[in-house]
Structure 1
């Protein structure tokens, strides 16, 4: 999932109410030099639940939840909850207001005829946002995700003037390491991140939209990703899918778009028992089918996705083509459904358009 922003730069622009200038160092500056920060190493061991903790020696990381939900009346909805941490200088960590960590939270809620989004900003070192373990808790102000002692069940909360949700996420399958044992390569030059997913989460809880309260159930996907330079300089954005196949398998795919060279593809096919099958770029085909205008942009809201080696040939459709996250860092994010060789539901994120 993903979003994955240079929060320092974007925070400054958002706080003064301006649109950020285009970056020459990858989307949102994520391809800029990372001298002094920790680097992704190919032989690192990534464990769970330890991976839920923050990694302040790296420049950027995120805790990212999407959920495909259904109300008691059969209405389809989706929610997003994301917390980002960005360091504006390497360790050692400074205390109080001098701390170099900046935090950003995004939440969204989508139904067929409505889309809501909100964001929050915080400075590290003063308790307004952060991550703690034993048990795991990640928060920014009153938006939070918290696990039980064994990180088998999570509570997820977000409250805004327009909408809110209070959900329980039960882990019913194993964590999955994306890429090569958790090292997810993002370009032919080797830029990479550490990437762990919890794609097997069952959801129950309630959503509030204005005066309307909905009881919901469904499936969720939690991503943990951290890096110091996850993109190449000429990568201008990405298209990312997380898919729940009706047979119980999962599929993650992404395309990183280059300005002057071929796009870079990656993904993982995840069997229903949690076995991960990393996909090579040449195994993946992602073809935009239909464009839609939203917020002054043209974006592909229908796609053909194919992975021949696993019998995958899908056509996706957005629940709401207007699922634009009108936050300080703007992008498209919303629930999708698909049919073809398999059917099911999932989420799509598109940045850099």
Structure 2
């Protein structure tokens, strides 16, 4: 039995509280802080939380379409930073991986969790280099990313090659997530990653090609107290454009905040204000496992160049719910979707229970 899948995050956090003498001060997100690459591909351990989030579409030799998600998280615990003990847990690393397989009509997914250190869970501050047991995500000197994850009945061994410059979300990488300017993250994206490698299902590897999207985000105060979750949409458009849309919701489903960006094929970028983005449920799906009701096929309206544009979103299939409670995480919907002229991923949190961050 591996520590990563059997020891929940709550237990690790409880252990940390026992060792707390003085709560640390987390670094705040400050506007006008430049994104510095490649340094900001690496970890930011003085912030409360961050993630490396990769999603994409894959094509098998038989022309079957698959979706995938690989996400590594880092969370700083409330332990005394002056505690000299190397056994005092200071940083937790955890990761989720999922394969959206229409043949199974469900997600194949797995997760890992451990406190940083001891050669089992490590993350670099210089560049993307994360290991968590036998999982890894790394950025090489040539800018290419490599990823390896494996779970029950599936494995992904991928190379991800950037084809476009990074998108600095929000105001030059400062992305506001609520009415209080402190409710924000540092955030950049790499769309249109060229994917190669292999996918293994039921012990049978197959070469794949595809396109992916990578998000890098770090924060210490992300959500407004009224917020229960968010909806996020990242789309690689067929013409080379990239569209990011999100809304943060309250318990009644009303927007607490919204935003996003559109970079067209020429590289021109438009930032969306909260009033520019609307999510409307067109079709819902109820999870038979959790009872959560998800708007899996929303219609998104975005105001671009003074014109309201309506975008219908269609899931690869409805049941793309990921239950990470065994590792102390939330239940959420994370799925491959298409839109007219593009495809990407839709993430919906806070529908099974309010999300706390």
TM-score (norm 1): 0.86
Query: 2:107 maps to what in 1?
Result: 115
In the alignment, the residues of structure 2 paired with residue 213 and residue 72 of structure 1 have an alpha-carbon distance, to the nearest angstrom, of: 11
Query: 1:182 maps to what in 2?
Result: 173
Post-superposition Cα deviations, 1:279-329, rounded to whole Å, max 9, x if no partner, equal 111111221111101131111010111223256421111112111112222
In the alignment, the residues of structure 2 paired with residue 226 and residue 106 of structure 1 have an alpha-carbon distance, to the nearest angstrom, of: 17
Runs of 5+ in structure 2 lacking a partner? 1-7, 15-22, 352-357
Query: 1:45 maps to what in 2?
Result: 34
**Is 1:271 aligned to 2:264, yes or no?**
yes
Indicate if the aligned counterparts of 2:55 and 2:213 stay in contact, CA closer than 8 A: yes
Q: CA RMSD in A?
A: 2.3
Post-superposition Cα deviations, 1:238-280, rounded to whole Å, max 9, x if no partner, equal 1110011111101011110023664311101012244432111
SS in 1 for 2:118: coil
In the alignment, the residues of structure 1 paired with residue 244 and residue 82 of structure 2 have an alpha-carbon distance, to the nearest angstrom, of: 35
Shift of 1:93: 7.9
Post-superposition Cα deviations, 1:84-129, rounded to whole Å, max 9, x if no partner, equal 1111127468563214111111110002223111111101232322
In the alignment, the residues of structure 1 paired with residue 119 and residue 53 of structure 2 have an alpha-carbon distance, to the nearest angstrom, of: 20
In the alignment, the residues of structure 1 paired with residue 34 and residue 324 of structure 2 have an alpha-carbon distance, to the nearest angstrom, of: 35
Instruction: Describe how 1:4-23 pairs up with structure 2 within 5 A.
Output: 11-12=9-10
In the alignment, the residues of structure 2 paired with residue 181 and residue 166 of structure 1 have an alpha-carbon distance, to the nearest angstrom, of: 32
Post-superposition Cα deviations, 1:322-342, rounded to whole Å, max 9, x if no partner, equal 111122222111100112xxx
**Is 1:319 aligned to 2:316, yes or no?**
yes
**Is 1:158 aligned to 2:153, yes or no?**
no
Instruction: Describe how 1:93-242 pairs up with structure 2 within 5 A.
Output: 96-112=86-102, 113-132=105-124, 136-150=128-142, 152-190=143-181, 191-242=183-234
**Is 1:291 aligned to 2:288, yes or no?**
no
SS in 1 for 2:282: strand
In the alignment, the residues of structure 2 paired with residue 67 and residue 344 of structure 1 have an alpha-carbon distance, to the nearest angstrom, of: 12
Shift of 1:74: 1.5
Indicate if the aligned counterparts of 1:163 and 1:209 stay in contact, CA closer than 8 A: yes
Runs of 5+ in structure 1 lacking a partner? 1-9, 17-33
Query: 1:338 maps to what in 2?
Result: 339
Shift of 1:12: 0.9
TM-score (norm 2): 0.85
In the alignment, the residues of structure 1 paired with residue 145 and residue 226 of structure 2 have an alpha-carbon distance, to the nearest angstrom, of: 37
Q: Runs of 4+ in structure 1 displaced over 6 angstroms?
A: 13-16
In the alignment, the residues of structure 1 paired with residue 50 and residue 120 of structure 2 have an alpha-carbon distance, to the nearest angstrom, of: 17
Deviates more, 1:261-270 or 1:178-187: 261-270
| Alpha-carbon spacing, 1:160–1:288, altered in 2? closer, same or farther (3 Å) | same
**Is 1:36 aligned to 2:36, yes or no?**
no
Indicate if the aligned counterparts of 2:41 and 2:127 stay in contact, CA closer than 8 A: no
Indicate if the aligned counterparts of 2:55 and 2:67 stay in contact, CA closer than 8 A: yes
Query: 1:65 maps to what in 2?
Result: 54
SS in 2 for 1:12: helix
Query: 1:303 maps to what in 2?
Result: 298
Indicate if the aligned counterparts of 1:291 and 1:300 stay in contact, CA closer than 8 A: yes
SS in 1 for 2:296: strand
